[in-house]
Amino acid sequence: MWGILLLCSVFSMWLGMILPILEVLIGITHVLGFFAFLIPVVYLGPRADARSVFVQTYNFGGWPDVTLATFVGLKGTIAMFLGTDGVVHVSSAGRLPKH
C-alpha cells in the first residue's frame, strides 16, 4: 500500500509531464486487451440458433407470467443504475435540509 502511494506521489510531483503519455498508452492497452479477449470468445464460443437466443424464455421463479418474471428480475438492476434515492442524497446536501 505504501509503495503504491509513493509511486503515485512520485509520478504526480516529479514525472507529471509524462502522465498524459502514460494515460494514452494505458488507454490503448485497454482497447487492445478488450479485443484480444473478445475475438477468441466470439470465435471459439458455443453457437446457438436464433430461436433459443431471441424467442425461448425460462421462468424458474414460479411467477405466473414470463413478462412479470422479467420485470421483477430487472427491478434491482434498474433501481441501482437510475439512483432512485438520489433525491434524498441531494436534499441532505443543501444548506438547510428539511427533516
Q: Tell me how far apart the alpha carbons of residues 6 and 2 are, in angstroms, rounded to a whole number.
A: 6
- Sketch the domain layout of the chain as residue ranges: 1-45, 50-99
Give the predicted TM-score (pTM) of the model: 0.47
**pLDDT band with cut points at 50, 70 and 90 for residue 97:** low
pLDDT of amino acid 61 = 84
For 66, the 3-state DSSP assignment is helix
List pLDDT tens digits, range 34-91: 999 999 999 998 888 999 888 888 888 888 888 888 888 888 888 777 776 677 777 6
The DSSP output letter for 18 is: G
pLDDT of amino acid 95 = 67
CB-based burial label for 69 (10 Å; 0-12, 13-18, 19+)? middle
For 76, the 3-state DSSP assignment is helix
**pLDDT band with cut points at 50, 70 and 90 for residue 94:** low
